[in-house]
Structure 1
């Protein structure tokens, strides 16, 4: 069910789903009174231009409307274009993301000392999140937590019979709904 929802949101351009998905994310966040900076995982400008929106930024904005923190959409930048990560293993994803993500210089002062909530739609291998966390930590973030709508289970990543999907940038895993 989550897989279909994510694909509809991301590749089916059903951006109105962002509000509902953000409510579901917010329900799982600690309500500890921490003042958070909400930073979405960035897309490369070409992918943004092609897709027309950054799904993580939409989720971050909706979380901001739910008083989950201050939104900083331009906190991170994807400096280099990376291939579609769908179908790649964890090592290949890490290699593709090496040096790809950095803190936008104009946002560095806001990030230094901040409690950051990194927002994304799906956590697959963790390679993208790791690259973002490394950049935010290097910039002096006090803490970084990851908030995502869905997570791909390890056994799905390790599935031997992973096949390319008809939807660009996704994979089909036998048994996944």
Structure 2
């Protein structure tokens, strides 16, 4: 008798799989499991692996030797955060999926993306870390109806078993698009634009914070968010993004 509900649930799941077989989250072709990629899409998705910059997650040449390595950008540009990782390179099928999540209402992509983020971020995760997304200005959030970075941070926090604070940060002013701006212009555009929510200051003080965003290009947005957390008393800040724009991408 005790096992009957379990058997019933298993039977329902089998019936649902027959009626709605698993499909690739990118192209819709059949797959062996839910929320996965088919073989062809997997090969076209540039997952980050091997040796990476310990501060931004971009791939580096050579083999891992058990010590932190840094890319040229992170050696020449001051980063307010300590460590960083990225799950994908922003090109090919990865770019397609990021844009589908961001502009195509493909909210279902957040679940597998959260697992990819978790695998990428595992080396920089710490006990008691607070996970928070990079915020959107309320006008942009109103038009888009959701913050894709918040969907990603929630999925990552759930996979990692960490606390999640979706409204830790706010955009104090509306900023223009970063597209088309050079590095200096990107940083100037974000200066003073992001702050810790006044009602969340107590959650920041003394905590290690992990910031989550969909794409990192210059790092200006993450820098502004990290500065805000440190200014509110965070013990440290690390970052993780779903995708990273790399120079060779």
**Same-fold status (TM-score > 0.5):** yes
TM-score (norm 2): 0.60
Distance 1:129 1:45 in 2: 18
Question: CA distance change for structure 1 residues 17 and 95 in 2, over 3 Å: closer, same or farther?
Answer: same
Give the structure with the higher percent strand. 1
Counterparts of 1:131-146 in structure 2, within 5 Å, are 131-146=224-239
Question: CA distance change for structure 1 residues 46 and 33 in 2, over 3 Å: closer, same or farther?
Answer: closer
Judge conservation of contact 2:149–2:213 (CA < 8 Å) in 1.
Answer: yes
Q: How many residues get paired? A: 156
Among 8, 13, 21, the alignment partner of 2:113 is 21
Greater CA drift, 4-13 or 41-50: 4-13
Distance 2:199 2:216 in 1: 27
Among 133, 153, 174, the alignment partner of 1:60 is 153
Counterparts of 1:1-177 in structure 2, within 5 Å, are 1-30=93-122, 34-154=127-247
Larger radius of gyration between Structure 1 and Structure 2: 2
Judge conservation of contact 1:122–1:149 (CA < 8 Å) in 2.
Answer: yes
SS state at 2:186 partner: helix
Residue equivalent to 1:158: none
In the alignment, structure 1 segments of 5+ residues that lack a partner are 156-175
CA shift at 1:33, angstroms? 5.0
Judge conservation of contact 1:26–1:68 (CA < 8 Å) in 2.
Answer: no
C-alpha RMSD over aligned residues: 1.4
SS state at 2:160 partner: coil
Greater relative contact order, per chain length (Cα 8 Å cut-off, separation 6+): 1
In the alignment, structure 2 segments of 5+ residues that lack a partner are 1-92
